[in-house]
Amino acid sequence: MNARELRELSADELQAQVGESKKKLFTLRFQLASGRLTNTAEIGKTKRDIARALTLLEERDHA
């Protein structure tokens, strides 16, 4: 998801998005360790998605 799409979500939806992305990241890391991951760029993309969502949550806390 890009930042524009994330900004439209509520705080609860952002928290849910972070949780889903962390689960996805765990699965991707497990696949990488077992040699079944073909697109390693997906790990970096998922990390960036988590960072975007957490940044938006922090921005809303300070506003």
User: In a structure prediction context, what are the per-residue pLDDT tens digits for the chain, which is 63 residues long?
Assistant: 888 999 999 999 999 999 999 999 999 999 999 999 999 999 999 999 999 999 999 999 997
pLDDT of residue 53: 97
The number of folded domains in the chain is: 1
pLDDT of residue 63: 79
pLDDT of residue 49: 96
Torsion sign across C-alpha atoms 23, 49, 18, 8: negative
* CATH classification at residue 42: 1.10.287.310
CA pair distance 51, 2, nearest whole angstrom: 11
Give residue 21's domain range: 3-62
- Which of helix, strand or coil describes residue 11? helix
pLDDT of residue 1: 81
